[in-house]
Homo-oligomer: A and B are copies of this chain.
Amino acid sequence: MIKRELFFESEIDAAVKEEAYLALLEEKESGRVGYYDLPESEMLKRIEAFMDEYDFETRGIKNVVVIGIGGSSLGTRAVDELLAHTPERNGRNLVFMENVDPVEVQKNLEQIDFEESFFIAISKSGSTIETTSHLKLVIDHFDAPLESEKFRNHFAFVTDAGSPLDKLGEEISVPVFHIPENVGGRFSVLSAVGLLPLTLLGYDTRALLAGAKMLKDSFFDRQEDMLVEKAYYYASHADTFPINVLFAYGTPLRAFNAWYVQLWGESLGKVDASGNHVGMTPVGLIGSIDQHSFLQLLIEGPRDKTVTMIKVADFEVPVAIPDISLPHLEGTDYVNGVQFNTLLSAQCDATMESIKQQGIAVDRIEIGKLDTYNVGYMLFYYELLTSLCGHFLGIDTYNQPGVELGKRILKEKFVNQ
């Protein structure tokens, strides 16, 4: 169960709301935007068949190594950190070959036992420089040439059909799972990008899709007025409140925040048709930690932020603050005997209350418990919210032209040397 409450008024008229529903419907029906179809895609069947055939158990695969960055890593990391403590998760390690700083690269090499690892190289374009560099490193370091059995038995690729990586996979008979062309990297967590590694980690990815589908159906049945209202409020106040804070309570939500930051920032920071720089800046916070860091700025700083509180009602990990009174610290005894979960929840509510009292636009999402179904729902919630904001801002939510210049300059640095 996920409970959502808005504590601000969004004055959107019926026609504008209707238009928003129709706009997203058009994105979906025209096939221009593909993420809407992911909850019902056939990919999971393909993955399940592959897993039966490959037989990971017998082969002794203990590490799932995702070679990917950005949209190719953030979603999987988000889901895994949310659910790693649940019984669904099997004992395999999840390792990311992601950043190209030598410290991380070296640490990964030391940590990975090739024979016990299954590598998934993920790149939508099929030529992401970080990913191909890691791929070459694995081939070289573990002495697993492309044409070898050794390579073929330990690799899968996830990429767009027709990409360089796809062609390579085809050529050397490595299993390739395609990302639909109309699904952008940051919207791809429910494609093979997330489904393949997450299924390998034991997660009930059917439930992940079912949770997403639940919200999808509700939205296209026009049952999600509150979502539309929230997006409208954010977009129509983008000049006054250019920063959208996600204040999520509990360390397992940290990678979810990072996923949100990419989704939001890369989708909504755009030059619009009139040449204006528009967009909103995402900030992810973790409670209670960031009560000791960012909260002061929220409460007393500029009134340029909206805040969404995310609270997990029950982490299903019972551990209580012992009923011990320490000399001189009797002032802290008011939480004695209380579950840590209860303390964290109360901190979330108290912080929200203190933010609300400042007149700041706040809403709260309460996740009953962390399971694949609810996580799927949350992923789709933020994807829909992003699409709606993009619609109201009048931009192309799904491209990212701004990152090309840096890539070009990078290449020139090496080619012209």
Contact = CB atoms under 8 A, between A and B. Distances in A.
13 contacts: A85-B106, A99-B286, A101-B250, A101-B340, A132-B332, A133-B340, A137-B319, A139-B324, A171-B328, A238-B302, A261-B294, A334-B415, A346-B414
A168 B294 contact: no
Contact of A324 (B140, B252, B292): B140
A69 B289 contact: yes
Interface string A333-353: 011101111011011011101
A148 interface: no
Contacts of A252: 101, 103-104
A108 to B, nearest CB: 10
Given A136-B322, A329-B164, A242 B295 contact: no
A109 interface: yes
Interface stretch (A19-27, A218-226, A262-270): A262-270
A248 B141 CA distance: 28
A150 to B, nearest CB: 15
Chain A, interface size category, equals 35 or more
Nearest to A132: B332
Contacts of A281: 243, 281, 283, 297, 301-302, 304-305
Given A295-B406, A402-B296, A251 B103 contact: yes
A354 B409 CA distance: 8
Nearest to A355: B406
Given A127-B331, A299-B405, 11 more contacts: A99-B286, A100-B347, A101-B312, A109-B319, A137-B322, A171-B328, A292-B403, A295-B403, A296-B403, A349-B413, A353-B406
Which 6 pairs, one residue from A and one from B, show the smallest C-beta to C-beta distance? Answer: A70-B292, A269-B297, A269-B301, A299-B402, A279-B301, A140-B322
A303 interface: yes
A312 B102 CA distance: 11
A98 B99 CA distance: 26
A317 interface: yes
Contacts of A265: 293-294, 296-297, 301
A330 to B, nearest CB: 8
A298 interface: yes
Contact of A332 (B127, B243, B318): B127
A233 interface: no
